[in-house]
Chain A
Amino acid sequence: MRSLEIGDDCLVLAQRLAEWVTYAPTLEEDVALANLSLDLLGQARALLSRVGDEDELAYLREPSAFRNCLLVEQPNGDFAHTVVRHLLYSAFLFELYGGHPEDDVAAKGVKELAYHRDYAALWAVRLGKGTEESHRRMSAALETLWPFTAELFEDEPELRRPWDAYVGRVLAEAALAVPECAQRSGGRKGEHTEHLGALLSELQVLHREHVGARW
């Protein structure tokens, strides 16, 4: 497994989900999103520690040195955007981890990702088939985020088929259509959307302003 790429995915998505804390639509979702974030942060720490010093990697790299995919750095948007992003990414990571039972992070992570994928799928169906407004928001989120899906499979093309089967089943049940749109990539080469810089400035500011500070 590619520790830097997947570790960066987990770190960036953990930071995005943590942005919801105290802002989520209900207290239950606030707690759920924080727990999803925590799982991914734990996986990120284990994966990045294989590459080098986890603190240096998280706090001292410039955006162009990050190797996360573009999907995970996309802004939270409304709750529908967060649900769609999590469905698309957790379904990918579930397949990736599931294919590496020999890897201790993956073998542990796949059990957590089963719950992530399930959480996102349930919300996707509930919102897709909910009200006219929730359906409209889910469709808009899919349109915005679908262009970042092909990038997931650049290095693991074999995961596309099981991912398509799962995501397709959930979207069909949610009465949502798969959009047809051009695809974007570049994250794995350090070519990011403008959103990563803002995310990292918040993640890194304390560490950079107070060098060597400890709790």
Chain B
Amino acid sequence: MVTDVEDARRRAAAVPDPELPVVTLGDLGVIRDVRERDGGLEVVITPTYSGCPAMDAIRADIERAVPGATVTTVLAPAWSTDWITDEGREKLRVHGISPPRRLQRAPGEGPVALELTARCPRCGSTRARLVSRYGSTSCKALFTCQDCLEPFDHFKEI
């Protein structure tokens, strides 16, 4: 049983994302808070997308990593790709996934302007063709590089 908040925070943040194990939950910005509650510890998480099917696995993984903690899910404020850390972006790129651009919108400014562009994570070319706006998961779009001809996933800005 973990009782120290900082220890719990480190443990929860280090849990790998079940669908993208190259990044951690901390890298993705999915862990919103770790705090004491009712004499125990509570880890507060938020889903990347409303229907994210990995939420049950994420909850179970956190409970394993932080024995004794309860895991609570919140929807607000809505998750944004701007919460992905620089380290997380670099891990995605090295893994062959084009990281999202930063939106840097003021909170509540409304939805994303939809201009999907991406840089090939393999050769760095910006000559990429959008194949599909939905890739292997809701959070990704599928591109093909026109220079090195590799298909790749791009993490969609949201």
On A, residues with C-beta under 8 Å from B are: 28-29, 31-32, 35-43, 45-46, 94, 98, 101, 104-105, 107-115, 118-119, 122
Nearest-CB residue, chain B, relative to A102? B76
Nearest-CB residue, chain A, relative to B52? A42
> Total A-B pairs in contact (CB under 8 Å)?
82
Complex Cα gap A108–B158 (Å): 10
Q: A104-B75, A107-B78, A110-B111 are in contact. Are A35 and B50 (CB under 8 A)?
A: no
B108 interface contact, C-beta 8 A = yes
A and B contact pairs by CB, cutoff 8 A, 6 listed? A42-B47, A98-B111, A104-B76, A110-B110, A118-B114, A119-B134
Q: Is the CB of A35 within 8 A of B110?
A: no
Min Cβ gap B70→A in Å is: 18
Chain B 73-103, CB-CB to A under 8 Å as 1, else 0, gives 0111111000000000000000000000000
Q: A43-B50, A111-B112 are in contact. Are A35 and B131 (CB under 8 A)?
A: no
Q: Is the CB of B137 within 8 A of A35?
A: yes
Chain B 116-141, CB-CB to A under 8 Å as 1, else 0, gives 00000000000000011111111000
Complex Cα gap A101–B136 (Å): 29
Which residues of the partner chain A approach B75 to less than 8 Å between Cβ atoms? 46, 104-105, 107-108
Complex Cα gap A109–B156 (Å): 15
Which residues of the partner chain B approach A101 to less than 8 Å between Cβ atoms? 108
Q: Is the CB of A28 within 8 A of B131?
A: yes
Nearest-CB residue, chain A, relative to B136? A31
Which applies to chain A's interface (DSSP): helix, strand, loop or mixed? helix
Which residues of the partner chain B approach A39 to less than 8 Å between Cβ atoms? 49-51, 138
Q: Is the CB of A118 within 8 A of B50?
A: no
Q: A28-B142, A105-B75, A111-B111 are in contact. Are A43 and B156 (CB under 8 A)?
A: no
Which residues of the partner chain A approach B78 to less than 8 Å between Cβ atoms? 104, 107-108, 111
What 10 additional pairs, Cβ within 8 angstroms, besides A40-B51, A101-B108, A115-B156? A28-B131, A31-B135, A32-B133, A38-B49, A39-B50, A42-B47, A94-B111, A104-B76, A107-B77, A111-B111
B53 interface contact, C-beta 8 A = yes
Q: Is the CB of B132 within 8 A of A31?
A: yes
Complex Cα gap A87–B131 (Å): 20
Nearest-CB residue, chain A, relative to B109? A101
Q: Is the CB of B133 within 8 A of A115?
A: yes
Min Cβ gap A163→B in Å is: 15
Complex Cα gap A122–B78 (Å): 26
Q: A105-B75, A108-B75 are in contact. Are A31 and B134 (CB under 8 A)?
A: yes
Q: A104-B75, A105-B75 are in contact. Are A38 and B112 (CB under 8 A)?
A: no
Nearest-CB residue, chain B, relative to A34? B134
